[in-house]
Structure 1
């Protein structure tokens, strides 16, 4: 089996930073191909591919499928063939790979999503119960309060007195619950709203919630940010104790991150950073990343991108464009 230390190194790096990424592994390759079974690549949430799973004919499709796997959290088996035709198999997606060399490549793509963060503001009994239950169901718990200690919140991964936005990358899946019971609701909401979160809830009565939101609005907080805050988070389970309230809140968060909200709302599994816009090669139909491919042609106000020099030459000939050869790579001749 081929060993790819580069992909392994990038995988360790992504894990250590708590980033979302996908690992693409070549499970079958029929010659002629430039990859071997066991070759691997790491695809980051911004579309960067690090490692090797084949050349420019395979990479755009693998990147596109990897980003889709990060979006829905599901693994994929991708088959690339010269004609895009294959015997259907459950769970397999077939794509055309119109490279001059031909060959067949089968790639397994597995997403790795870091544990979602649950940021809890406060040291109230409700906050303690939310932290405990949230940890049990797989959240990485962060407790924020000047009075909080690791001893009081043993299930928390991080205990801090305030939120430093630079320590919380936007690509991370994150939820915020403010359970400060009126002690510092406004400041807690300010700090949580400064982060990229899928959901923010304030544990408070309707009257206190409305007063808190009104105070923040008068203080100049963006109305769009305030509209993200939910009053009395959680699903209705007839809760009476703090532990039962916490159970309803965490159950609500789980339903949201699994994409099954009680009101039919669909939420993404993972918030992606900016992803590349892929362009279709006008000759072979492959999806091409314009930031990666060196093969491009500008003519008559249009710009095209190609998977390989062969497609560029073919299209240029069709358009009647004369190319100049330079160091073995075609470039548009300038008059």
Structure 2
């Protein structure tokens, strides 16, 4: 699933409006495909589309199959397989040909309406959820646990027993405390990587739209701001102010939450003092070990932009490989 799509929501809306709808999901593809496994295309009974399963080369055929599945009346899922020639692959930007398998599931039957409603509700609540289909392509359940590696890697796929697991993770978020020079580089890079950034700084001259265009800015004190945003397992928190009055309240909130990444700017000595303060607040060694400080991978960064690169790299490393 792509983090910022609304494809299940659109399919549900079409179905509830009486138009009919089907969800088509990539279950297997070539290595250099423009759309990853788990990518989806919603098709209405009138032929409207939302999303994509291949970047354009098989969408037409998938829509035809989806409409036929809806008109057939049996509501059965369909597994489609397309061979892609080198010529076709180059036409959509691939280095070579291959094949793609797409599962088409009519809403209301192969994808029961109640399960689709539950999926949409989970997505709205920023709750990670897996849609599990049996080997025949019938959605059987939604799962919140049991696929921890898939959740961490954002990796949909086929299990050894033939079940297909489609991972729906909430969008990644980056919460930055301190609208400093490092943040000015980190925020656009993180956005390009798939993070939804928020910058917190009560100093209006720092957190200005001119310095952070098209970015959500909060001028509240950090503890109030993070309470407003909410911190969860898809959130990275980066502290950049060097000022305990600003950093520490947000840090306490993050340590009490499930943020997948917590990073704090400062020297080794500064970080040691930070750990002392947090220890005095009652956080144990395991909690303190979650704080990456000094922040970022050790790449010899020498300026704010390079520090931002090191921070983003460490965020991705922790997200994909664990702490």
TM bracket, shorter-chain basis: 0.5 to 0.7
Going from structure 1 to structure 2, the CA distance change for 1:9 and 1:234 (only over 3 Å counts) comes to same
The structure having more radius of gyration, on CA atoms, is: 1
Tell me whether 1:178 sits opposite 2:239 in the alignment: yes
**Is the partner of 2:298 in helix, strand or coil?**
coil
How does the TM-score come out when normalised to structure 1?
A: 0.51
**Equivalent in the alignment of 2:155:** 74
CA contact (8 A) 1:120 1:177 kept: yes
Give 1:11-90 correspondences, 5 Å limit: 35=76, 37=78, 38-40=105-107, 41=111, 42=116, 43=119, 44=122, 45=127, 58-60=138-140, 63=142, 68=147, 70-76=151-157
CA distance in 2, matches of 1:23, 1:70: 17
CA distance in 1, matches of 2:167, 2:283: 37
Hey, which of these two has a bigger chunk of helix by percent? 2
Out of 157, 166, 171, the residue aligned to residue 115 of structure 1 is 171
Indicate the structure whose relative CO is greater, using CA pairs within 8 Å and at least 6 residues apart.
Answer: 1
Unaligned residue ranges in structure 1 (runs of 5+): 12-20, 79-91, 96-107, 260-265, 268-335
**Equivalent in the alignment of 2:182:** 126
Q: CA RMSD in A?
A: 4.3
Matched positions, count = 217
**Equivalent in the alignment of 1:157:** 216
How far off its partner does 1:202 sit? 0.9
How far off its partner does 1:173 sit? 0.8
Going from structure 1 to structure 2, the CA distance change for 1:159 and 1:76 (only over 3 Å counts) comes to same
How far off its partner does 1:174 sit? 1.1
CA contact (8 A) 1:23 1:110 kept: no
CA distance in 1, matches of 2:236, 2:185: 16
Q: Deviations over 1:204-259 (max 9, x none)?
A: 00111111221232243455432311211212222111111111111111222233
CA contact (8 A) 2:153 2:319 kept: no
**Is the partner of 2:162 in helix, strand or coil?**
strand
Going from structure 1 to structure 2, the CA distance change for 1:124 and 1:199 (only over 3 Å counts) comes to same
CA contact (8 A) 1:24 1:110 kept: no
Going from structure 1 to structure 2, the CA distance change for 1:205 and 1:115 (only over 3 Å counts) comes to same
CA contact (8 A) 2:242 2:266 kept: yes
**Equivalent in the alignment of 2:98:** none
CA distance in 2, matches of 1:231, 1:143: 19
**Equivalent in the alignment of 1:168:** 230
Q: Deviations over 1:106-128 (max 9, x none)?
A: xx764343431111111222233
CA contact (8 A) 1:146 1:160 kept: yes
**Is the partner of 1:94 in helix, strand or coil?**
coil
CA distance in 2, matches of 1:209, 1:215: 10
Tell me whether 1:8 sits opposite 2:69 in the alignment: no
CA distance in 2, matches of 1:247, 1:10: 42
CA contact (8 A) 1:22 1:70 kept: no
